[in-house]
Structure 1
Amino acid sequence: MVTQVDVVVVGGGVMGSAAARAVAQSGKSVALLEQFAAGHQLGASHGTTRNFNTAYREPEYLALVTEARALWDGLSHETGTQLLDLVGLVHHGNVEPLLGIKQSHESLGIDSEFLSAEQASERWAGMTFRSDVLFVPESGRVRAAEALAALRTSAETGGAQFHYESPVRDIIVHGDHSVRVITDTTEFLAERVIVTAGAWTHKVLSQLMELPPLVVTQEQPAHFQPLDASVDWPSFNHSPDPRSTADDYWYSPTYGMFTPGEGVKIGWHGVGPVVDPDSRDFLPEAVQLAALQRYANEWFPGLDATACEPISCTYTSTESENFILDRFGPVVVGAGFSGHGYKFAPAIGRVLADLADGKPAPALFRA
C-alpha cells in the first residue's frame, strides 16, 4: 500500500504530536507514525505533570517559552481543556546564576521576584529554604497527559492522520524534496519527514546522517506523599550550593512539582544509568533513590520521605543540553530535549513545521 502526503512525522510523543498539529495548521497533509500503542509509557512523554518554567537566561529559550505559553493557552481554549496550572515556580540553592535569569526577565518584562529564605519558608511551609529564592509566578506545571491528548485532538481536527503501532522500518531519501518512509504495511511518499523519535533517534537516523552525540538515560524520579493535604506546593528547581559541603551527596540539581492524586514529584536531573531504550529494566537505581529520599527528608518537612513511588522515564540529552532542531535535506530532526523540553512543545512543533517549510531554526538549536 502506498500513501502520499506532504509531511510524515516519525514519533508520536509530545514533540511529534505538536509538529503534526503545526503542519496540519499550515494546510499541509501529514501522517504521524508511532511505533507503540497510544498512551504507552516507554518513552519520555507519558505521566501526569511537567514543570512549566520560564527561568532561562538565553534569549532563544525565553522567546520559545513565551511563544509556548501563548500556544498552550490557545490549545486549551480550542479543546476546552485546562493544560497549565500556574501555581508559580521557585528556584533556590545556588543564587549566582539566578541573578542573570532575573536580569533577563527584567529585559523581557517577565514577572519574577527574589524572596528571602524566611519569606519563602513562611509561604511554602512544606519546603526548606536556606538562601534567597527566585519566584516566578507565571510558571507552574503542565498537565502532561491532557496536553498530549489535546495536541492529538487538535492535529486530527486539522486533518492529521495518527498511525499507532506502526514502527518505521526504513527512511529512503531521494534528493532534497522527496522521501519514502516504510512501515510493515504502508509506504509513505512525502516531501519532508520530521523525526521526533526521542530515545530512538539514533536508531532511526543512524544510516542517514551523523548527529551530535545523544545520550539516553533511564531517569528515576519519585512521588512523595504530603503529610498535610492543605499545604500549598509551588513547582521548583533547586541547585546545590557550591559553597556548602552539605550538598556533596547530591547527584545533580533537582526539580519537581505537586502532582494531584500522586504526591510531590522530585527527581535528580539527567544522571540515570545509560540505557538502550529497547532493553530497559524500569527499576530504580537503589543508591540514587536512597540519596533522593535523603534529599526529600532534609529539604521537604511537609513530605514523608519514606513513602515514595519511583517513576521510570527516559532523557535523551545533548552535551550542552540544548535542543537539536535542524533540517538535513528533506529530513527534519527534533531531538536532544535533555529533560527540559516538554514545556516548549507547541512552540517546538511550530519550529519543526517551519523547518519542513524551508525556514531556519534559531542558531542555538542547529546541529
Structure 2
Amino acid sequence: MVDDDELAPLVANDPSLDQQVCQEGSCECRAGCHGVDARLPGLRLTDEQFQFLCDPHVPILPCGTLRTYGRRTSKKERTIEHVDTLVIGGGAMGSATAWALARAGREVVLAERFTPGHANGASHGEFRNFNVAYAEPDYVAMLVEARRLWGELEDESGEKLLDLVGLVNHGEGPDARFDAVHAQLEGAGIASEFLAPEAAHDRWPGMRFDTRVLFSPESGRVRADDSVVALQRAAQGHGADIRHETRAVAIRLLTDDLAEVELERDGVVETIRARSVVVTAGAWTEKLLGGLIPLPRLIVTQEQPAHFAVSDPALVSTWPSFNHLRDRGRDDYWYSDVYGMLTPTEGVKVGWHGTGLEIDPDARTFESEPVQLAALRRYAAEWLPGVDPDAFVEISCTYTSTDTTDFVLDRVGPVTIGAGFSGHGFKFTPTVGRILADLAMGRSRPAARFSLGS
C-alpha cells in the first residue's frame, strides 16, 4: 500500500494550488483530495500510486470540499493500516481470541476502548464462578476444553487463575433437573455427587439448604481481572498488538474478505483494513454491528450484585461457590436464581441473575435499584448465616444476553461475532477464544446452537 510518506515527494508546493475545489466523479478529484493534483504538468505517478489515488474504497474528503492540497495530508488527519485480523473489544473473550490467533501465527491487533482494568463492561472483578453443572452436551464439551486451555494459559503466564474450591447447586424444584446434569458430567468424566441438605450444612455451615445438593469438586472460581491480563500478555508474547483507549467508531464491509474499521484514539481517527474483523464488544455490539449484521436481540442490562462481609471466618473458610435455583412455585421476594462465591479480599459475592434494568452502556448511572438490593440483603439474611447482611459493598456490571441465553459465535463475510456471554460465559473464555479464532481464520463453521441462523 502506498501511504502519505511515499506520496510526499509528489506533492506540489505551488501556493496557487491552494483552495482548489475537488470535482466529483474524476480521478483528479480523488487525487486532489489526497493532497496530490493528478493534473499537474510533469507529474508522474506509478501505476500503483495512481490506482491508490483512484481507489473508490479509500476514504478521503468529500468531492466539492475546499481543500488546501499544495501540501501532503497529515497523518493525524488520515492514516490507513493493513492487518490480517482486527479484534474489537479487549475484555475476556476478545483477549482470548487475540491469544488464540497469535498462537496460530496470525497477525492480530486488539483494540480496546477503555484503559486496562476498567469497570465499564462485564469482565472486571476478582472472581467469576467456574460452574460445570450443565445438562447440554455442547456446553459440557466446551467446559472440558476450557479446563485444558485454562491450564495451558496458567503454564504460559505463570499465573494461578483457577481456584477449584468446588461448587454447590441446590434448590432444584420439582423437576429433578440435577439428575440430567449429573448424568452429563459423569459421561464427560467430571466428578459430582449428591448430598442431603443436612450433610451439606454440616460441611458448609455458612450456608442453609432445604433440598438435596449437587456438589462438583472440579468447579470453583476463576480470577477474572487476572485472567484478562494474562490473556493479553500471552497474546503479546506471540506477537499480538494490544491497543487500549482505542475505540471502534465505524465498520464497513468492502468485500467478503475485507473490512474497513475506523478507530479513534486521543481524538485522532485511524483507518484499518483487515481481512478479518472479530467483534467481541459486549454491551456495545449492537451499536457497532446493528444494521450491518443480522443480529439476534441482545439485551443489555445493568446488574447489581454485592459483596457481603463475612460474619464468622470459621463458617466460610472452606466455602465452595454456589448457585441457588429459585423455586418457580414460590411467589415471594426472589427475583431469579442466585449465584455467589467467596472472594477472599472482598467478602462473599452474591447476586441475582439477569434481573437488572435495560440500559444504554454509554449512559450508565452505576447506581443500584433499591428494591432489588433490599431483596438481595433479605436473601443473605435468610440463606447465608456466614455473612453479615448489613455490611455490604454494591457492585455494578453489564450483562449482554440473548433471549435463549445461548452465545452468538458466527461469521458473516469478513466479520466474526462473539456476543451474549453474560451470566454464564466467563468460565468458557479460552474455548470461546479458540472458536472465534477458528471462525476468523476460516478453519471451521459455526455450531448450530450458536449460529445467527439458530
Question: Shorter-chain-normalised TM-score: which range?
Answer: over 0.9
**Partner residue in 1 for 2:324:** 238
Equivalent residue in structure 1 for 2:403, among 316, 319, 325: 319
**Partner residue in 2 for 1:203:** 287
Give the letter for the 2:226 counterpart: E
Equivalent residue in structure 1 for 2:311, among 227, 233, 258: 227
Compute the displacement of 1:204 (Å): 0.5
- In structure 1, runs of 5+ residues without a counterpart are none
Equivalent residue in structure 1 for 2:236, among 153, 156, 165: 156
Matched residue of 1:209: which SS? coil
Give the letter for the 2:325 counterpart: S
**Partner residue in 1 for 2:218:** 138
Q: CA RMSD in A?
A: 1.0
Matched residue of 2:436: which SS? helix
Contact preservation (8 Å) 1:94, 1:242:
no
Give the letter for the 2:324 counterpart: H
Compute the displacement of 1:361 (Å): 2.4
- In structure 2, runs of 5+ residues without a counterpart are 1-78
Contact preservation (8 Å) 1:221, 1:267:
yes
Matched residue of 2:199: which SS? helix
**Partner residue in 1 for 2:368:** 284
The runs of 4+ residues in structure 1 deviating greater than 4 Å are: none
Equivalent residue in structure 2 for 1:13, among 91, 96, 100: 91
**Partner residue in 2 for 1:257:** 341
**Partner residue in 2 for 1:363:** 448
Matched residue of 2:222: which SS? strand
Normalising by structure 1, we get a TM-score of 0.98
Compute the displacement of 1:186 (Å): 1.9
Matched residue of 1:67: which SS? helix
Q: String of CA shifts for 1:122-162, please: whole Å, max 9, x gaps.
A: 00010001110000000000011111110001000011101
Matched residue of 2:313: which SS? coil
**Partner residue in 2 for 1:177:** 257
Q: Which has the higher contact order (CA 8 A, sep 6+)?
A: 1
Distance 1:99 1:161 in 2: 46
Compute the displacement of 1:306 (Å): 0.7
Equivalent residue in structure 2 for 1:300, among 384, 394, 406: 384
Matched residue of 2:261: which SS? strand
**Partner residue in 2 for 1:58:** 136
Compute the displacement of 1:207 (Å): 3.2
Compute the displacement of 1:338 (Å): 3.0
Q: String of CA shifts for 1:274-324, please: whole Å, max 9, x gaps.
A: 100001110111000000000000000111011111100000010000000
Query: Across the two proteins, how many residue pairs are aligned to each other?
Result: 365
Compute the displacement of 1:182 (Å): 1.1
Distance 1:241 1:205 in 2: 38
* Alignment of 1:27 onto 2:91: no
**Partner residue in 2 for 1:75:** 153
**Partner residue in 1 for 2:47:** none
* Alignment of 1:118 onto 2:202: no
Equivalent residue runs for 1:33-112 within 5 Å:
33-95=111-173, 96-112=176-192
Distance 1:206 1:163 in 2: 24
Compute the displacement of 1:107 (Å): 1.7
Matched residue of 2:247: which SS? coil
Residue identity over aligned pairs, in percent, reads 54
Distance 2:157 2:114 in 1: 25
* Alignment of 1:336 onto 2:416: no
Contact preservation (8 Å) 1:221, 1:311:
yes
Contact preservation (8 Å) 1:175, 1:329:
yes
Matched residue of 1:5: which SS? strand
Compute the displacement of 1:10 (Å): 0.4
Contact preservation (8 Å) 1:10, 1:34:
yes
Distance 2:218 2:190 in 1: 8
Matched residue of 1:316: which SS? strand
Give the letter for the 1:209 counterpart: I
Distance 2:256 2:284 in 1: 24
* Alignment of 1:274 onto 2:358: yes
Normalising by structure 2, we get a TM-score of 0.79
Decide which structure has the larger Cα Rg and report it.
Answer: 2
Give the letter for the 1:275 counterpart: I
Distance 1:103 1:112 in 2: 9
Contact preservation (8 Å) 1:284, 1:310:
yes
Matched residue of 2:363: which SS? coil
**Partner residue in 2 for 1:354:** 438
Q: String of CA shifts for 1:20-56, please: whole Å, max 9, x gaps.
A: 1111111110001111112111000111100001111
**Partner residue in 1 for 2:22:** none
Compute the displacement of 1:209 (Å): 1.6
Give the letter for the 2:128 counterpart: R
Compute the displacement of 1:240 (Å): 1.6
Contact preservation (8 Å) 2:122, 2:422:
no
Distance 2:421 2:185 in 1: 23
Q: String of CA shifts for 1:178-225, please: whole Å, max 9, x gaps.
A: 111111332111110000000000001013122000000000000011
Distance 1:38 1:3 in 2: 24
